[in-house]
Structure 1
Amino acid sequence: MVIPAAAPPAAAPSSGSAPPAISIRDLRMRYGSRDVLHGVDLDVQRGEVLALLGPNGAGKSTTIEILEGFRRRSSGDVNVLGIDPEDATDAWRARVGIVMQSWRDHARWRVRELVEHFALYYPAPRDPQELLGTVGLAEQADQECAKLSGGQRRRLDVALGIIGRPELLFLDEPTTGFDPEARRDFHSLVERLSSVEGMTVLLTTHDLAEAERLADRIAVLVAGRLVASGSIGELADRIRAQAEVRWSEGGELRRQQTEDPSRLVWDLHTRLGGPVPDLEVRRPTLEDTYLGMLHQEES
């Protein structure tokens, strides 16, 4: 959820010369004698949707909390919208939207009242009623927050996170509790925020299909180390993930794993003298790539 601030947000640099929205160099975190982050380096460009993936205990939450200014790091350089989060001001916080994994507060507020209250802290907020419709809470507008279901409360968290039109949005498991229709609508909203409004989004999720749909780039954190960063295709190339080609021949359904499906399809076309019956090419999904990467790290 976003933390309100009275000061108006500072203007963002022009996209042509803008530095990264987030820049991390040699980020380290230690709790007592236990190292949680081991020299993480990462840039998130303005207008980009980046999904930070990793198994439980990888250090994702710690990284996000440092970027949000909620946790002091042990060492390293961190720059978020031109500011070290440890020195964050109210003006900086007004430029950042946060949707936490869980948040329990404002129980006696009615939904519309709470959204309208938050809108007062921003110079150009979204229209509260329109926003409630966008996140699927129009029918619950006069309901007390305490009476919302888990999924409805999650939608309210999202509404509060974007009411102020932030430049940078942190989304921590944003669609937990959403039904399929609400999840689809939310995905469309994030795509619009990024492509139309130029909002930068850092997303953490265990829903790999969600990450595959929304993210321009994927970063994978394992045991406190950033083991990979790139597009899904780039990550698949890195672990040499293979595609599967399926076709019918001689009355049988056949399948073959290959790193070059285009070459295999052409060879089949040539050998069979025309269109390949029941041809299907299944390229590596993000789930295939991610699990293969974890397997490599563990071996």
Structure 2
Amino acid sequence: MGAQLFVVATPIGHLDDISYRAINVLKSVNIIAAEDTRTSAQLLKHFNIQTPLTACHDHNESNKIDQLIQRLKNGEDMALISDAGTPLISDPGFKLVRAAQEHHIQVIPVPGACAAIAALSAVGLPSDRFSFEGFLPSKQSQRLLALHKLKDETQTMIIYEAPHRIVACLKDMAEVFGAERPVGFAREITKTFETIKKMTLGELVTFVESDHNQQKGEIVLVIGGATAEKDLEQEKLDQLLTRLLQDLSVKAASQLAADLTGIKKKVAYQRALELTQNVDES
């Protein structure tokens, strides 16, 4: 068997969250590719891991891939780690993993801590369907555009945000998604000043804006999807159409429903037909 590239998750705060397997892998490989060798050196020292480190970050990953791939092809096992959490999740490493796959080098995940999943598990929002959106654009105009694209998504959404932008970001979210949209706020997960809250976006804006300490550290936002709102709108439309269909034709009822609600007549007509068919079948 040839050399292997291990993608190793490391703690996001509490050092006890590293796995026995991760420690053993980091001790056994020939070299560790790290996002920041200074940060990772502290982790390795804590666990008495003496494996050599080499830097692999956003600024040098493209230029260093050939060198790292060659070492793997020469038979050196390698571990990839980021400063904290699972590599590639808003962290460097994608280009290296892609190149390893292209060169038929075995890539082995060593699972562990991930801030996005930890936040999702604790805030009490639906977790059967979710998307990870990473960091939103830093410029407000681009951020608002990105939020408008996500406004009608029905799955739970996970977003990372920098502390110096958190207030502006939350205000933009409240504007686009509505102040009543549920949101989970997870800050400094597993660390001394961990904060995990669930409230509405409007309440969260007030909470974070009034407490400067909540504008520090690593922040994960978990936003409820638009499903509940859409279900409510659908329920109201069905109630209206059902009443109108008692006295009007499908065409007339859908036209009046469209006039009253502002939805497209085609949508109202299709739903009126479905309601009529349901009644006929019953």
Q: TM-score, normalised by structure 1?
A: 0.28
| Greater strand content | 1
Q: Which structure has more RCO (C-alpha within 8 Å, separation ≥ 6)?
A: 1
| Greater helix content | 2
Q: TM-score, normalised by structure 2?
A: 0.29
